[in-house]
Amino acid sequence: MQTFYQISDFLKQHKWRYIMGVIVLLVVDGLQLITPRIIGIVTDGLTEGTMTIKYIYMYAALIIVIACFIAVLRYAWRMLVMGAARDLEFWLRNKFFSHLETLSPNFYNNNKTGDLMAHATNDISSLRMTFGPGVIMMTDAIFIPATTITIMLFTTDIRLTLLALLPLPFIAILMGVFGKVIQKRHKDVQAAFSDLTDKVQENMSGIRVVKSFVQEEHEIDKFLKSNNSYIEKNMRLVKVFGFMFPLVAFIASLSFIITLGYGGSLVIRDEITLGQFTSFIAYLGLLTWPMMAIGQVINVLQRGTASMKRLNAIFDIQPDITDAAVVKDITQEELKPAIEFNNLSFTYNGAKHPALSNINLKIEEGKTLAILGRTGSGKTTLVNLILRMYNTQEGQLSIGGHDINTIPLKTLRESIGYVPQDNFLFSTTIKDNIAFSNIDMGMEKVVQATKFAHVYDNIMEFPLQFDTILGERGVTLSGGQKQRVSIARAIAKDPKILILDDSLSAVDTKTEEKILEGLKQVMKNRTSIIIAHRISTLKEADEIIVLDEGKIVEKGSHEELIVLHGLYNSIYQKQLLEEKLENEA
Ligand SMILES: Nc1ncnc2c1ncn2[C@@H]1O[C@H](COP(=O)(O)OP(=O)(O)OP(=O)(O)O)[C@@H](O)[C@H]1O
Ligand SMILES: [Mg+2]
């Protein structure tokens, strides 16, 4: 039970549902034992001639009443036990998701989304199997054979009972063995299916690439292969089932043959009555299912334990970025948007070279810093550290005079408006995307933000305007529109620090100028960091740094950097030339 500590809260809270469910199940199992007995009594009464039609009706009525009770109670245990198991699944899924939300980018750098999805679907559902059908199987596997066999022994004949039961353990063994094979093949089917859906999904989202490279035929071929493999795996599964059920039925029928032969001879020799004989056959019929359950229950428990262990491994990962013990009580209002890097170096987990080295930098409140640098020079890394997506060593990075590790995470992140380089937007309405920081945000603020980001006119052109849904089920925004919606989302947060990571690369220089003008108004008394590859984006900044291989190689205003005749100047000259050529063309 140690393994299941992650769900012990749930089990404790819902123990009465399980206890009631098992009690009801036991009552059903008990009631089932009555009917064979009645059949025996009626048969004996008929052979002895003591049975009147009135009694037959009475017994028939009794059987119907019992059947009705069983029906109602079966519904009850199903609702209790299976219902609890479904709730467990729901509860665990929520818990798992909540845990995933606490984990840092580092975790996601090391774990594939596909694997996490598999945990969330397969492992959680196999736990449901353990704490739903598993509980039922275990109860039936213990109670039904124990009671039924005792009754058989006491009401009929020891020799007959032992002989007739001989084949039944083979059903349990068979189910155990087949269960393992089924599990394995079922996994193959699932893997083949996910391969198939991956193919379809990639082809749908990459349809433009497929078409432009004229690879439709080839892709259809590849799909056919996947589809073939899927049906093949399915057939392998169908075959096991096709083999298993008849075999179980065959073994069960051996018991009946033994009963018929040996039991029949006992009746002829008058050692047991005809009534005992008929009850015995009915009791035997009750035993097939529990025998199957015995075989399955071990597999179900094993699978549940294995799944729980896999989930535990993820649950046990502590978020590596949390409020430290030394955290100060700083509110968002109190936090001054001044940033200071003090000889900071940073290396990603597992990386050979540092992504940033010896960064010394001071961004004063209300100022704008621009960062230029070749791809891979560490620009995104630098701003990720300000957002504390990764931990820095004490004393290397401070905000408003406080070491970043001592600022409450919530305060820190709520103070920053971040426009990520990949401009990720959610598949929901434009309005909800922009109001992401506060879903109760007034429409006025949303509209204002889009005006500053110069995307308002574009949005008004959509038939549904702010209610336009983005993403797969909605419209696809152009690269530049995405960037600007993403900027609006950051502005709407009303942040003290605004960070734009290459966020104007997809808009033309004219629009860029207007957005920068708008930002200037919004960012009065706030601090901004603008990352760009284009000099036009950053030349107005109070300070510009040039990063190269993780180091600051140049620092100063646009004018200062030009006269340095270094990397900045050479990029500037190249861009000027490009612009000139473009204008001439
Ligand atoms: N999660 C990560 N794990 C390991 N290395 C990383 C990770 N993210 C980035 N890097 C490496 O760190 C270096 C700096 O990357 P970064 O993303 O900061 O560059 P960048 O200047 O933003 O580049 P670009 O202009 O292309 O956006 C690169 O060499 C990159 O390969
Ligand atoms: Mg980057």
Per residue, the 3-state secondary structure of 8-21, as one string, reads HHHHHHCHHHHHHH
Q: What pLDDT is stored for residue 77 in this prediction? A: 94
> Nearest residue CA, atom 14 of ligand 1?
378
With contact defined as beta carbons under 8 Å apart, do 18 and 80 qualify?
yes
Q: Which of 112, 377, 549 has most ligand 1 atoms within 8 Å of CB, for mutation?
A: 377
Q: What pLDDT is stored for residue 1 in this prediction? A: 65
Give the residues of the chain that fall short of pLDDT 50.
none
Q: Which domains does the chain have, with CATH numbers?
A: 2-156+272-315 (1.20.1560.10), 330-415+496-556 (3.40.50.300), 424-494 (3.40.50.300)
Cβ of residue 353 lying under 6 Å from some atom of ligand 1: no
Cβ of residue 569 lying under 6 Å from some atom of ligand 1: no
Q: What pLDDT is stored for residue 585 in this prediction? A: 66
Q: What pLDDT is stored for residue 26 in this prediction? A: 94
Cβ of residue 377 lying under 6 Å from some atom of ligand 1: yes
With contact defined as beta carbons under 8 Å apart, do 102 and 319 qualify?
yes
Residues with CB under 5 A from ligand 2 (ion): 380, 421
Cβ of residue 376 lying under 6 Å from some atom of ligand 1: yes
Cβ of residue 110 lying under 6 Å from some atom of ligand 1: no
Atom of ligand 1 nearest to the CA of 105: 1
- 266-308: pLDDT as tens digits: 999 988 899 999 999 999 988 888 888 888 888 888 888 888 9
Cβ of residue 421 lying under 6 Å from some atom of ligand 1: yes
Q: How far apart are CA 509 and CA 500, in angstroms?
A: 16
Instruction: Tokens 């640098």: give the residue.
Output: 373
Q: Mutual orientation of helices 168-205 and 274-315 as an angle, nearest 10°?
A: 40
Output the CA angle 496-497-499, nearest 5 degrees: 150
Cβ of residue 380 lying under 6 Å from some atom of ligand 1: yes
Cβ of residue 295 lying under 6 Å from some atom of ligand 1: no
Q: How far apart are CA 541 and CA 434, in angstroms?
A: 26
**534: helix, strand or coil:** coil
Atom of ligand 1 nearest to the CA of 547: 21
Q: Which of 379, 390, 530, 537 has most ligand 1 atoms within 8 Å of CB, for mutation?
A: 379
Full strand arrangement of the beta sheet holding 543-548 = 416-419, 497-501, 527-531, 368-373, 543-548, 551-556
**345: helix, strand or coil:** strand
Residues near 28 by beta carbon (within 8 Å), at least 6 away in sequence: 70, 73, 74, 77
Q: How many CB atoms lie within 10 A of CB 114?
A: 10
Q: Which ligand is nearest to the CA of 107?
A: 1
